[in-house]
Structure 1
Amino acid sequence: MALRRSTLTMENYREKLQQFYEVAALVEQQAKQVQVDLEQAEFEGSSGKGVHASIHGTYAPIVIAIPEALLVEGSEAVAEQILEAYKSAYQQAKALRQTLIDQVLEGVPQLQ
Structure 2
Amino acid sequence: MNCLFSSPSADRIILRTGRDIEVSGNGCKTLCQIASLRRCSKPLEEKERRCRRCKDSRKEVTGRFWKNFPDISLDFKPRTTECIMDDACRRCIANTDRTIRRLESDLRELMESWRTMNDH
TM-score, length basis structure 2: 0.33
Give the number of the structure whose residues are more often strand, by fraction: 1
- Which structure would you say has the larger RCO, counting Cα contacts within 8 Å and 6 or more residues apart? 1
